[in-house]
Structure 1
Amino acid sequence: MAVGADAGVGAGAGAEVPVLGGVPLLGSLPDLKADSLGTYLRAQHQHGDVVRIDAGPPGLRAELYCVFSPEGAQQVLASESANFRKDNHFYQEVRESFGNGLLTAQDGDYLRQRRLVQPLFTRRRVDGYAGAVAAETAAVLDGWAGAPDGVVDVSDQMMHLALRAVARILFGTDVETTADVVARSFPVITEYVLRRGYSPANIPRTWPTPGNRRAAAALDELYGVCDQIIEQRRRGGSEAAGEDLLTLLAAARSADDREFDAAELRDQVLIFLLAGHETTATSLCFALHLLARHPEQQDLARAEVSRVLGARTPEAADLDRLPFLGQVVKEAMRLYPAAPVIGRKSVAATRIAGYAVPAGADVILAPWVTHRHPAHWPDPDRFDPGRFTPEAEAGRPRYAWFPFGGGPRACIGQHFSMLESVLALAMILRAYAFEAVDTEIPVSAGITLRTEGPARCRVRRLDA
C-alpha cells in the first residue's frame, strides 16, 4: 500500500481492527507483563500489520492499536506525525522524572529546543567527539587484562563505556563526579518510571512510600550534581568550561529564541544522559555478542579494521572507511533496537492500512517487530550484516529499519551513535577476540531495550 493512500486525519471510517485474544477480565495484560516483545510478535504473526491489544480489567483497560508495517510507521512518524503525539501515560512518567527535554517536549517547546540544539549536532561538531570516544574505549580495554578466567560481561562493560563517553562529552573534566552519580541513580529512576509507566493507576509521587522515597532520593542526587555544574558554567568558574556540550548548550541562542534557563539546561542534560548512553550501550553490547557467536563475521570485521587503521587511533573520518563495521552495527540495531517500542496518542480519527484508528487511541509502533517483518527481512532472526550494503538498503522501504525513529522527531544524536559505536567497536576488535559464553541473552522492553542477565564473552588479547 502506498503511504497515505487511505490515510488522513478525519478519515475515521475503515475496517475494524482485529483484536489479539487474551484471558477473561485482564485481556492480554498477563502476556504483556510476561513478555511484551513476544506478544507484539505473536500479534503480527496471527493478525497482520494492524492489531488491537486489550490489556487490563474493565474500567482500567488499555486499548493498544499496534502498527507493524513500514508504511504504517512512516504514516505515524512522518506523513501524519502531527496527528500522533507524545501524550500517553508512559511519556508523562518519563517527563516527570527526566524533564521536558528534546525526547519529551512537544509543540512550541520542542521546536524552540530543536532550533537551539541542532547547531550543536552538525556532523562536523559531532566528529569532534571522536577523541573522547577513543579515550574512554581505551580505558575500558585496559581494565580487561585482569578479567577472571578471561570473561567479561559486555552488557555491563558497554554501559560503563557509553556512560563515560557521553558524560565526558557533556561535562568535560567533571566526568568523574557525574558518571558515578548517574551510574548509581539512573537504575533506581528508570525502574520507578517503568513501574509507574506500565501501571494503569498510580498513587501520587508525593506520598511517602518506600518506592517514592527511593526515587526522590535518586532524583535529588542526580538533579543536584547537574545543577551544581550548570551553575559553575553560568558563572564561568569551572576549569571544564570550554567546548564540552554543556558549555555550548548554556551559550546556545538564536535570533528568535531566548537561551535555556538553568532548569531547561538540566532537562536537556538529563535527556542526553538517558538517550545518549543506554541506546549506544545496547548497540555495542549486541554487536559484540553477535560477532562472538559468528566467528567468520568477526574475522571479516577485524580484517577491515586492521586494513584501515593499522595501529593508529581511529578518528571520525574512519566512520566512512569502515563500511562492513557499519553494517555490523546496523544489523545489531535491527535485531536488538535500543527503542524496541514507540508509543503515540492519536489526535483525530484516521485510517492506517485501511483500518479505523479512533481519536485518542494509544498507538504502538514496534521496531522489534517491523525489523523482523517477513516481507522485508528473509530469515529475519539470522545475523547477516550483508543486509545493509547500499544496494540492499535501497531495495527496502524507508521505515523497514528505524532504530532512530523518523520524521520531524527523528533522533538528533543518530550520527553520534553511529560514530561512537563504529569507532569503539573497531578498537575493541583490534585488541581482543571474542567467544560467546552466554549464547542466548533474554531481553525486555524498558525505557530502552534491557538485557535480563549477563551477556558474557570470553576474551583473548590479540597482542599478548
Structure 2
Amino acid sequence: MTAKQPPAQHFCPHYPQPAAKRPSLLAMFLRKRRSWLDSLYERSYRMKMGEVHLPGVDVYMVNEPPLVRQVMEQADAFPKHAMLGEALRPLLGDSIFTTNGETWRRQRELMNPSFEAARVKLVFGRMRDAADAMVARLKAVPEGGVHDMEVEMTHVAADIILRTILSRPLESAEALQVFRAFERYQETAPRVMMPAFFGLRWLRPWGQIRRSRQAAAEIRALIEGLIRPRHDAYQAALHQATAAGTPAPTEEGGDILATLLMVRDAKTGQGFSFEELVDQVAMLFLAGHETSASAMSWALHLIANAPDVQERLHAEAARHLPGLGDDPGQLKELALSRNVFRETLRLFPPVGFLARESASTCPMRDKTVKAGASVVISPWLIQRHRELWARPDAFDPDRYAHEEDQQPLSTKESLRKAYLPFGMGPRVCIGAAFALQEAALVLSTVALHVRLAPVPGHVPEPVGRLTIRAENGIALKVHQRA
C-alpha cells in the first residue's frame, strides 16, 4: 500500500532524490565513492530485497523485516564485512567494532559494565558540564548571527565523549589534537572501503590509504599518551595488591576509562591489555562522538524548520532543566525531546548502511545467497520504506506520542518491525542509553537558551559516508532567548 502524503504542517527535509531506474554498475561504483545515498533509486524505497552481481562479489540489499532480523540476530552467520576491518583496523585495531566471533564476544562482555545504566548515570555530571560549555559558545554568537550547528554539535559531542571517557575537556591541547586528526581520518575512510566492498581490491586508492594510516597512527599515539600514565599507575597498584594478598584497587578516575582498567574476564581473570585499551578508546571516540554529532545536528535542522515543535521543546526544557544537578532523573520528563531525537534517528540514522557477509550459502526469499556474498541492511531505507511507514519523509515527532491507526502500519508496528538506528540483535549499539541521555540533555539545553531559524537559500545536503552528514554543513540563525 502506498504511504499517505504528508500533511502540509509537517516539514519534509531535503535528501538526494532517487533515480527513476537503477544506475549502471560503473555509475553505482562512482556514486558510492562520494556517497551511498547517491546510488539509490526509486525502487530501493519499496523493495523487500534487491541484488547486484558485480565482477568480484554478489551484493544483496535486505529491507524486509523478517529477513533483516535474521541477518542482524545471527551474528555468526552474517559477520561484519571484511571491508570494515580493512579500512578501520589501522585506527580501531581489534576493537568490538571490527572483530567477529569469540574475540568480539569476549570484548563485548568486558565492555558492557562501562555502559550499564548505573555507570551512564554516574557520568551525567560530565555531560552537563560539556553542555554548559556549549551554552557559553552559543551565547557568544551575535543576535541573529549564522552559526554552523554541525560544527557545534561535533564540538559538544567530542567534548562529552572525552570528558566521560578520559576526564578531559575538549579545550585541552591533547584532546583538540585527537579531534582534528579524527576529522582527517574520516575524510579518507569511505574511499578506502569502497573497492573492498565491490570486490575490486586492485582499485584501492593507495594515496588515500597512506593518508588514512598516517592520521590513524597520529590518533593512536595521542590516545596512548593520554591513557598510558593511568594504565601504568593502576597496573603498579594492582601488582602491589596482588603481592600483598589484598583486594584489587579501585581506579579513582570515576570515568569510563576507570571501568575499562578495572574490568576482568570472569573465566580467565584477565583484563584488557594496553593495546586493547587503545583499540577500545579509539573505537569509543570515533563511534561515540561521530554518531551523536550527526544525529544532533540533523535534529537542530529539523526543529529550526518546524517552529511549533521548537517552541514546545523550549517550553518543556524551561519546565524541567533549571536546577538540574548531577542526577539525570529529571530527563525522564523530557518526552518531546526524546521523540524529536527518535524521529531524527528515523529520518537521518547516523549509520545508514550496515554491511555484513554471508558465512555460508543460505536461502533468502527466492534467492540463494552464496558464502562470501555481501548483505547490506540499510536503516536509511528501512526507516523511510514506503510500505513500512506512514508519511515516511515527514518530520513528525508526535507520531510516537500516541498509538496511531494509520496506514500502512501503526506507529507501534513500524517501530517494532522497521526501526533500527542502533542496530539489532547481539551487536546492538553498546552506547544506545548513553546517546539517548546525551541527546535529551543537549537538545533541550539548546532549545532553552536559543531559538534557531533556517538560513534562506541554505539547504543541507545529506551524504552517506562513515555516517550521514551534511556535505555543506548545517548553518542556522541563532536568536538569543531572554
Q: Is the 8 A contact 1:93 1:193 kept in 2?
A: yes
> CA 1:143/1:360 → structure 2, altered by over 3 Å: closer, same or farther?
same
Q: Is 1:192 the equivalent of 2:158?
A: no
Provide Cα deviations, 1:23-51, integer angstroms capped at 9, x if missing partner.
3x7363234345522433534247x1111
Query: What residue number does 2:145 align with?
Result: 150
Query: What residue number does 1:164 align with?
Result: 159
Structure 1 unaligned blocks of 5 or more: 1-19
Distance 1:390 1:332 in 2: 17
RMSD (Å) for aligned C-alpha atoms: 2.5
Q: Is 1:106 the equivalent of 2:74?
A: no
Q: Is 1:413 the equivalent of 2:403?
A: no
Q: Is the 8 A contact 1:233 1:241 kept in 2?
A: no
Q: Is 1:460 the equivalent of 2:457?
A: no
Percent sequence identity is 28
Q: Out of 218-227 and 277-286, give the one that drifted further.
A: 218-227
TM-score normalised by length of structure 1: 0.87
What secondary structure is seen at the aligned counterpart in 2 of 1:95?
helix
Query: Could you tell me which amino acid in structure 2 is paired with residue 125 of structure 1?
Result: R
Query: What residue number does 1:51 align with?
Result: 50
Distance 2:81 2:335 in 1: 38
Q: Is the 8 A contact 1:90 1:198 kept in 2?
A: no
Provide Cα deviations, 1:358-397, integer angstroms capped at 9, x if missing partner.
2211001111100001222112111000222363553335
> CA 1:425/1:174 → structure 2, altered by over 3 Å: closer, same or farther?
closer
Query: What residue number does 2:29 align with?
Result: 29
What secondary structure is seen at the aligned counterpart in 2 of 1:85?
coil
Distance 1:132 1:183 in 2: 18
Query: What residue number does 1:77 align with?
Result: 72
Query: What residue number does 2:392 align with?
Result: 380
What secondary structure is seen at the aligned counterpart in 1 of 2:473?
coil
Q: Is 1:394 the equivalent of 2:401?
A: no
Distance 1:118 1:440 in 2: 40
Q: Is the 8 A contact 2:96 2:108 kept in 1?
A: yes
Q: Is 1:275 the equivalent of 2:287?
A: yes
What secondary structure is seen at the aligned counterpart in 2 of 1:157?
helix
Q: Is the 8 A contact 1:196 1:202 kept in 2?
A: no
Q: Is the 8 A contact 1:50 1:355 kept in 2?
A: no
Distance 2:307 2:154 in 1: 23
What secondary structure is seen at the aligned counterpart in 2 of 1:320?
helix
Q: 1:138 aligns with which of 132, 139, 154?
A: 132
Query: Could you tell me which amino acid in structure 2 is paired with residue 380 of structure 1?
Result: P
Which runs of structure 2 are paired with 1:284-295 in the superposition (5 Å)?
Answer: 284-295=296-307
Distance 2:187 2:129 in 1: 30
Q: Out of 86-95 and 361-370, give the one that drifted further.
A: 86-95
Query: What residue number does 1:8 align with?
Result: none
Q: Is the 8 A contact 1:64 1:363 kept in 2?
A: yes
Q: 1:446 aligns with which of 442, 465, 474?
A: 465
Q: 2:214 aligns with which of 214, 217, 220?
A: 217
Query: Could you tell me which amino acid in structure 1 is paired with residue 260 of structure 2?
Result: L
Query: What residue number does 1:63 align with?
Result: 58
What secondary structure is seen at the aligned counterpart in 2 of 1:105?
coil
Query: Could you tell me which amino acid in structure 1 is paired with residue 70 of structure 2?
Result: Q
What secondary structure is seen at the aligned counterpart in 1 of 2:452?
strand
Query: What residue number does 2:378 align with?
Result: 366
Q: Is the 8 A contact 2:191 2:208 kept in 1?
A: no
Q: Is the 8 A contact 2:33 2:190 kept in 1?
A: no
Q: 1:229 aligns with which of 219, 223, 226?
A: 226
Distance 1:432 1:308 in 2: 16
What secondary structure is seen at the aligned counterpart in 2 of 1:198?
helix
Cα drift, residue 318 of structure 1: 2.4
> CA 1:363/1:170 → structure 2, altered by over 3 Å: closer, same or farther?
same
Query: Could you tell me which amino acid in structure 1 is paired with residue 443 of structure 2?
Result: L
Q: Is 1:255 the equivalent of 2:277?
A: no
Cα drift, residue 308 of structure 1: 2.3
Distance 1:315 1:246 in 2: 21
Distance 2:364 2:185 in 1: 35
> CA 1:294/1:113 → structure 2, altered by over 3 Å: closer, same or farther?
same
What secondary structure is seen at the aligned counterpart in 2 of 1:458?
strand
Q: Out of 312-321 and 430-439, give the one that drifted further.
A: 312-321
Query: What residue number does 2:247 align with?
Result: none
Q: Out of 139-148 and 287-296, give the one that drifted further.
A: 139-148
Distance 2:421 2:351 in 1: 7
Q: Is the 8 A contact 1:155 1:285 kept in 2?
A: yes
TM-score normalised by length of structure 2: 0.84
